[in-house]
Amino acid sequence: MIIREMRRLDIEAVSLIHKKTIPGPGSKIGKRFLIKFYNLLLSNPKDNISLVAELDGKIVGILVATRNYPNTKKLLNKIYSPEVFIDTLKAIFLGKLGIKELYNHYRFSSQFETKSLTFNPFIAILTLAVDKSFQRKGIGRQLLVRLIRDLSREKIKLIMVDTLLENQQALGFYNKMGFRSKFQLVDSWVLEKVVSSM
Protein backbone atom coordinates (compact mmCIF):
# COMPACT_ATOMS: atom_id res chain seq x y z
CA MET A 1 0.00 0.00 0.00
CA ILE A 2 1.22 3.52 -0.72
CA ILE A 3 0.19 6.90 0.67
CA ARG A 4 0.51 9.63 -1.96
CA GLU A 5 -0.82 13.05 -2.85
CA MET A 6 -4.33 13.15 -4.31
CA ARG A 7 -4.64 13.89 -8.04
CA ARG A 8 -7.58 15.22 -10.04
CA LEU A 9 -7.98 11.78 -11.65
CA ASP A 10 -8.66 10.30 -8.19
CA ILE A 11 -11.63 12.54 -7.47
CA GLU A 12 -14.38 10.13 -8.68
CA ALA A 13 -13.07 7.34 -6.44
CA VAL A 14 -12.41 9.74 -3.57
CA SER A 15 -15.97 11.11 -3.76
CA LEU A 16 -17.39 7.60 -3.72
CA ILE A 17 -15.48 6.66 -0.55
CA HIS A 18 -16.58 9.93 1.05
CA LYS A 19 -20.25 9.32 0.10
CA LYS A 20 -20.26 5.77 1.41
CA THR A 21 -18.42 6.35 4.68
CA ILE A 22 -18.63 9.91 6.02
CA PRO A 23 -21.89 10.82 7.71
CA GLY A 24 -22.95 14.41 7.02
CA PRO A 25 -24.60 16.76 4.52
CA GLY A 26 -21.93 16.45 1.79
CA SER A 27 -22.55 12.71 1.38
CA LYS A 28 -26.30 13.22 1.34
CA ILE A 29 -26.23 16.03 -1.24
CA GLY A 30 -24.27 13.62 -3.39
CA LYS A 31 -21.63 13.10 -6.01
CA ARG A 32 -21.83 16.45 -7.84
CA PHE A 33 -21.29 18.31 -4.57
CA LEU A 34 -18.38 16.06 -3.55
CA ILE A 35 -16.64 16.30 -6.92
CA LYS A 36 -16.74 20.10 -6.72
CA PHE A 37 -15.64 19.97 -3.08
CA TYR A 38 -12.47 17.97 -3.87
CA ASN A 39 -11.73 19.93 -7.05
CA LEU A 40 -11.83 23.16 -5.04
CA LEU A 41 -9.58 21.71 -2.33
CA LEU A 42 -7.06 20.49 -4.90
CA SER A 43 -7.08 23.92 -6.55
CA ASN A 44 -5.20 25.34 -3.57
CA PRO A 45 -2.30 23.06 -2.59
CA LYS A 46 -0.68 25.94 -0.71
CA ASP A 47 -3.37 25.73 1.98
CA ASN A 48 -4.55 22.14 1.64
CA ILE A 49 -2.86 18.78 2.08
CA SER A 50 -4.76 16.07 0.18
CA LEU A 51 -3.66 12.45 0.51
CA VAL A 52 -4.91 9.07 -0.67
CA ALA A 53 -4.06 5.51 0.31
CA GLU A 54 -3.71 3.31 -2.78
CA LEU A 55 -3.71 -0.48 -2.72
CA ASP A 56 -3.20 -2.47 -5.94
CA GLY A 57 -4.20 0.58 -7.99
CA LYS A 58 -7.41 1.17 -5.98
CA ILE A 59 -8.03 4.18 -3.74
CA VAL A 60 -8.93 2.81 -0.30
CA GLY A 61 -8.49 5.82 1.97
CA ILE A 62 -8.50 9.63 1.92
CA LEU A 63 -7.32 12.45 4.15
CA VAL A 64 -7.66 16.17 3.46
CA ALA A 65 -6.48 18.86 5.87
CA THR A 66 -6.18 22.62 5.66
CA ARG A 67 -3.55 24.98 7.06
CA ASN A 68 -5.85 27.95 6.58
CA TYR A 69 -9.39 27.23 7.73
CA PRO A 70 -10.89 30.69 7.01
CA ASN A 71 -9.42 30.79 3.51
CA THR A 72 -10.57 27.25 2.71
CA LYS A 73 -14.04 28.04 4.01
CA LYS A 74 -14.17 31.03 1.66
CA LEU A 75 -12.93 28.89 -1.23
CA LEU A 76 -15.59 26.25 -0.52
CA ASN A 77 -18.35 28.86 -0.79
CA LYS A 78 -17.76 28.59 -4.54
CA ILE A 79 -19.34 25.15 -4.37
CA TYR A 80 -22.84 26.61 -4.49
CA SER A 81 -23.71 26.46 -8.17
CA PRO A 82 -27.38 26.17 -9.28
CA GLU A 83 -26.89 22.37 -9.77
CA VAL A 84 -25.60 21.89 -6.23
CA PHE A 85 -28.45 24.02 -4.91
CA ILE A 86 -30.93 21.77 -6.75
CA ASP A 87 -29.19 18.62 -5.43
CA THR A 88 -29.46 20.03 -1.90
CA LEU A 89 -33.18 20.74 -2.30
CA LYS A 90 -33.68 17.25 -3.76
CA ALA A 91 -31.92 15.64 -0.78
CA ILE A 92 -34.14 17.63 1.58
CA PHE A 93 -37.38 16.79 -0.26
CA LEU A 94 -36.45 13.10 -0.51
CA GLY A 95 -36.00 13.10 3.26
CA LYS A 96 -32.28 12.18 3.03
CA LEU A 97 -31.04 15.47 4.46
CA GLY A 98 -32.68 17.22 7.42
CA ILE A 99 -32.89 21.02 7.51
CA LYS A 100 -31.70 20.92 11.12
CA GLU A 101 -28.66 18.85 10.09
CA LEU A 102 -27.81 21.35 7.36
CA TYR A 103 -28.33 24.30 9.69
CA ASN A 104 -26.13 22.70 12.37
CA HIS A 105 -23.41 22.13 9.79
CA TYR A 106 -23.30 25.83 8.88
CA ARG A 107 -23.58 26.92 12.50
CA PHE A 108 -20.65 24.65 13.33
CA SER A 109 -18.34 25.94 10.63
CA SER A 110 -18.99 29.62 11.31
CA GLN A 111 -18.70 29.21 15.10
CA PHE A 112 -15.54 27.11 14.70
CA GLU A 113 -14.00 29.74 12.44
CA THR A 114 -14.60 32.50 15.01
CA LYS A 115 -13.37 30.37 17.90
CA SER A 116 -10.29 29.18 16.02
CA LEU A 117 -8.93 32.74 15.75
CA THR A 118 -7.73 32.33 19.34
CA PHE A 119 -5.86 29.04 18.72
CA ASN A 120 -2.20 28.55 17.92
CA PRO A 121 -1.45 27.95 14.24
CA PHE A 122 -3.21 24.70 13.48
CA ILE A 123 -4.09 22.33 10.70
CA ALA A 124 -7.71 21.14 10.51
CA ILE A 125 -8.59 17.71 9.18
CA LEU A 126 -11.55 18.20 6.84
CA THR A 127 -12.05 14.60 5.73
CA LEU A 128 -10.60 11.27 6.77
CA ALA A 129 -12.17 8.06 5.55
CA VAL A 130 -11.27 4.48 4.73
CA ASP A 131 -13.32 2.27 2.40
CA LYS A 132 -15.51 0.06 4.62
CA SER A 133 -13.94 -3.21 3.38
CA PHE A 134 -10.47 -1.94 4.32
CA GLN A 135 -11.15 -0.50 7.77
CA ARG A 136 -9.28 -1.70 10.88
CA LYS A 137 -6.20 -2.57 8.84
CA GLY A 138 -4.12 0.43 9.89
CA ILE A 139 -4.84 2.61 6.81
CA GLY A 140 -6.36 5.52 8.79
CA ARG A 141 -3.31 5.44 11.04
CA GLN A 142 -0.91 5.48 8.06
CA LEU A 143 -2.70 8.48 6.50
CA LEU A 144 -2.40 10.36 9.78
CA VAL A 145 1.26 9.43 10.23
CA ARG A 146 1.98 10.77 6.72
CA LEU A 147 0.19 14.04 7.54
CA ILE A 148 2.28 14.38 10.69
CA ARG A 149 5.46 13.61 8.75
CA ASP A 150 4.57 16.34 6.22
CA LEU A 151 3.91 18.78 9.06
CA SER A 152 7.26 18.11 10.69
CA ARG A 153 8.84 20.52 8.18
CA GLU A 154 6.45 23.30 9.18
CA LYS A 155 5.86 25.46 12.23
CA ILE A 156 2.35 24.02 12.78
CA LYS A 157 2.28 21.76 15.83
CA LEU A 158 -1.46 21.45 16.41
CA ILE A 159 -3.94 19.24 14.54
CA MET A 160 -7.66 19.79 15.05
CA VAL A 161 -10.56 17.70 13.88
CA ASP A 162 -14.29 17.65 14.46
CA THR A 163 -16.59 14.70 14.52
CA LEU A 164 -20.30 14.25 15.21
CA LEU A 165 -21.06 13.46 18.87
CA GLU A 166 -22.52 10.07 17.89
CA ASN A 167 -19.64 8.99 15.61
CA GLN A 168 -18.18 6.40 17.99
CA GLN A 169 -16.04 4.88 15.24
CA ALA A 170 -14.17 8.13 14.55
CA LEU A 171 -13.97 8.99 18.26
CA GLY A 172 -12.46 5.56 18.98
CA PHE A 173 -9.91 6.11 16.23
CA TYR A 174 -8.94 9.66 17.21
CA ASN A 175 -8.64 8.76 20.89
CA LYS A 176 -6.35 5.87 20.01
CA MET A 177 -4.27 8.22 17.86
CA GLY A 178 -3.72 10.54 20.83
CA PHE A 179 -6.33 13.22 20.12
CA ARG A 180 -8.09 14.74 23.14
CA SER A 181 -11.54 16.33 23.19
CA LYS A 182 -11.13 20.10 23.42
CA PHE A 183 -14.73 21.29 23.40
CA GLN A 184 -18.20 20.51 22.14
CA LEU A 185 -19.66 22.77 19.47
CA VAL A 186 -23.21 22.49 18.09
CA ASP A 187 -23.54 18.72 17.39
CA SER A 188 -19.82 17.85 17.27
CA TRP A 189 -16.74 17.26 19.34
CA VAL A 190 -13.64 19.24 18.45
CA LEU A 191 -10.51 17.22 19.22
CA GLU A 192 -6.87 18.26 19.16
CA LYS A 193 -3.45 16.69 19.05
CA VAL A 194 -0.08 18.30 19.61
CA VAL A 195 2.12 16.85 16.87
CA SER A 196 5.32 16.37 18.85
CA SER A 197 3.49 13.90 21.11
CA MET A 198 3.11 11.18 18.39
Ligand X SMILES: CC(C)(COP(=O)(O)OP(=O)(O)OC[C@H]1O[C@@H](n2cnc3c(N)ncnc32)[C@H](O)[C@@H]1OP(=O)(O)O)[C@@H](O)C(=O)NCCC(=O)NCCS
Binder among 48, 88, 127, 188 for ligand X (CB under 6 A): 127
Q: Does 109 bind ligand X (CB under 6 A)?
A: no
Sequence-separated (6 or more) residues with CB below 8 Å from residue 165: 184, 187, 188, 189
If one asks whether residue 172 binds ligand X (CB under 6 A), the answer comes out as yes
Q: How far apart are CA 139 and CA 128, in angstroms?
A: 10
Q: What are phi and psi of 121, to 5 degrees?
A: -55, 135
Longest dimension (CA), the chain: 47
Q: Is 115 in the site for ligand X (CB under 6 A)?
A: no
Which CB sits closer to ligand X, 91 or 161? Answer: 161
Which member of 3, 11, 14, 22 binds ligand X (CB under 6 A)?
22
Residue 1 binds to ligand X (criterion: CB under 6 A): no
> Reduced to 3 DSSP states, what percent helix, strand and coil does the chain have, rounded to the nearest 5?
50, 25, 25
| Cβ distance to ligand X smaller for residue 8 or 176 | 176
Q: Which residue of 13, 135, 148, 150 would you call a contact of ligand X, by CB under 6 A? A: 135
